[in-house]
Amino acid sequence: MKSAAASRAVALAAALALVLASAFPFLAGAQSEFTRGDRMPYDAFDKLSKTDLDVPGGVIHVAFAPGEIALPKEKVLDWVKASARAVATYYGRFPVSDLKLLIVPVNGTRVRGGTTWGYRGAAIRVMLGRDAGEDALRRDWVMVHEMVHLALPDLAERHAWLSEGLAVYVEPIARAQAGDLTVAEIWQAMMRDMPQGLPEAGDRGLDNTGTWGRKYWGGAMFCLLADIEIRKATGNRLGLQDAMRGVISAGGNHEHDWPIARVLATADKAVGADVLERLYREMGGKPVTPDLAGLWRDLGLRPRGEALEFDDAAPLAAIRKAITARPN
Ligand SMILES: [Zn+2]
């Protein structure tokens, strides 16, 4: 049994630890040279020993920053491989031929975030909670999200909604196509979260409104609308997936800076339809509020309590199925 004084001391210590942890989030974690600033620590990475993983169309050089992690490294490498496989399933290949992947152990039980760079070769840094278990890695979306960023040229900051939107939209679809998520899970998440991407009062279009909701879910909404419109225009033969594969085939990946117009034109050309450029003309500079409830209904998505029912007689049911079908 604890005395009142001891409890107070414990509470104080806990409060102090919280203050310290928020001021220096990685104090107890890896060396700051691997976490400091918002640039990839390329030089520090180059000094670490690496494990090379072959993935379709490329090699991932994985390095661990100093620090303990609970899981065996093989389990972490399996997670990297599964994530790369999902991304390669969606894009037909891994988006870059060489990737430097830095895993930094930090406090916690899950994946704590990641960042992707391309200015000195494609690179990703992921903060991995040192006490993360296999289940946390199986449920993780961060690794796939960051790898999806590799598949798009570096854009000007005002177009971040397209890179974040693609990462948010493609990540669950790629994992579903690879068999790592159920189709119901991804549509339920989209129905739940996509309203965060709708414009609010004072919105000036995707290019001119830098809010979190518009950047991530507004961008994802753009991608969903584009996917559906490309499929309508091509008799459901091609989708956003084929358009974005066209960008990679044309040499566009995160190691290159492209203007957004070139990305959209290249993607449209790959599917022979003026969809992305047209949607951008509509949504880039002014607020557009699609009827999401009507869209879910047309796709044949019917929430039933906690579950989701699919209506295969709905007008866009075939398109809904094609979006998550494993590609050839
Ligand atoms: Zn992102």
Distance from the alpha carbon of residue 112 to the mean position of ligand 1, in angstroms: 13
Residues 124 and 210 in one domain: no
Containing 52, the helix (H) or strand (E) segment is strand 50-55
Sequence-ordered list of residues with C-beta below 8 angstroms from that of 61, at least 6 positions apart, any chain: 50, 51, 52, 98, 99, 100, 101
Distance from the alpha carbon of residue 114 to the mean position of ligand 1, in angstroms: 8
Question: Which tens digits make up the pLDDT trace of 309-326?
Answer: 999 999 999 999 999 999
Residues 186 and 319 in one domain: yes
Question: Which tens digits make up the pLDDT trace of 58-81?
Answer: 999 999 999 999 999 999 999 999
Last residue of a domain, one of 114, 149, 184: 149
35 band by pLDDT with thresholds 50, 70 and 90: confident
Average pLDDT across the chain, whole number: 92
Q: Look at residue 8 and tell me if it is in a domain.
A: no
Q: Look at residue 14 and tell me if it is in a domain.
A: no
Distance from the alpha carbon of residue 144 to the mean position of ligand 1, in angstroms: 10
- What angle, 0 to 180 degrees and rounded to 10, lies between the N-to-C axes of helices 240-249 and 260-271? 120
Q: Look at residue 22 and tell me if it is in a domain.
A: no
Distance from the alpha carbon of residue 108 to the mean position of ligand 1, in angstroms: 21
Question: Rounded CA gap, 207 and 285, in Å?
Answer: 6
Residues 212 and 313 in one domain: yes
Residues 309 and 162 in one domain: yes
Distance from the alpha carbon of residue 145 to the mean position of ligand 1, in angstroms: 6
Containing 295, the helix (H) or strand (E) segment is helix 292-299
Question: Which tens digits make up the pLDDT trace of 156-187?
Answer: 999 999 999 999 999 999 999 999 999 999 99
Our measurement of the distance from residue 136's CA atom to the centroid of its chain's CA atoms, rounded to an integer in Å, reads: 16
Residues 97 and 246 in one domain: no
Residues with CB under 5 A from ligand 1 (ion): 164, 167
Per-residue pLDDT, 22? 52
Question: Rounded CA gap, 87 and 260, in Å?
Answer: 22
Judge whether residue 18 has pLDDT over 70: no
Residues 304 and 204 in one domain: yes
Task: Count CB atoms within 10 A of the CB of residue 195.
Answer: 12
Q: 127: domain range? A: 28-149
Q: Look at residue 223 and tell me if it is in a domain.
A: yes
Distance from the alpha carbon of residue 127 to the mean position of ligand 1, in angstroms: 14
Residues 128 and 255 in one domain: no
Determine the number of helices (DSSP H) and then strands (DSSP E) in the chain. Answer: 14, 7
Percent of the chain surpassing pLDDT 70:
91
Residues 285 and 197 in one domain: yes
How far, in Å, are 78, 85, 138, 146, 317 from residue 122 at the CA level?
20, 17, 24, 11, 38
Distance from the alpha carbon of residue 213 to the mean position of ligand 1, in angstroms: 13
Question: Which tens digits make up the pLDDT trace of 257-309?
Answer: 999 999 999 999 999 999 999 999 999 999 999 999 999 999 999 999 999 99
Distance from the alpha carbon of residue 149 to the mean position of ligand 1, in angstroms: 7
The number of distinct structural domains making up the chain is 2
Distance from the alpha carbon of residue 147 to the mean position of ligand 1, in angstroms: 9
User: Of 120, 104, 83, 133, which Cα lies nearest the Cα of 26?
Assistant: 104
Residues 85 and 104 in one domain: yes
Q: Are 144 and 150 in contact (CB under 8 A)?
A: no
Residues 203 and 271 in one domain: yes
Question: Rounded CA gap, 304 and 5, in Å?
Answer: 52
Q: Look at residue 267 and tell me if it is in a domain.
A: yes
Distance from the alpha carbon of residue 10 to the mean position of ligand 1, in angstroms: 38
How far, in Å, are 137, 197, 214, 270 from residue 186 at the CA level?
17, 16, 19, 26
Distance from the alpha carbon of residue 313 to the mean position of ligand 1, in angstroms: 35
Torsion angle, CA of 48/111/192/238, rounded to 10 degrees?
Answer: 30
Q: Look at residue 136 and tell me if it is in a domain.
A: yes
pTM for this prediction: 0.90
Reduce the DSSP state of residue 151 to 3 states and report it. Answer: coil
Distance from the alpha carbon of residue 254 to the mean position of ligand 1, in angstroms: 12
Average confidence (pLDDT) over 228-235: 98
Q: Are 151 and 248 in contact (CB under 8 A)?
A: yes
Distance from the alpha carbon of residue 96 to the mean position of ligand 1, in angstroms: 17
Per-residue pLDDT, 264? 98
Residues 119 and 165 in one domain: no
Residues 254 and 220 in one domain: yes
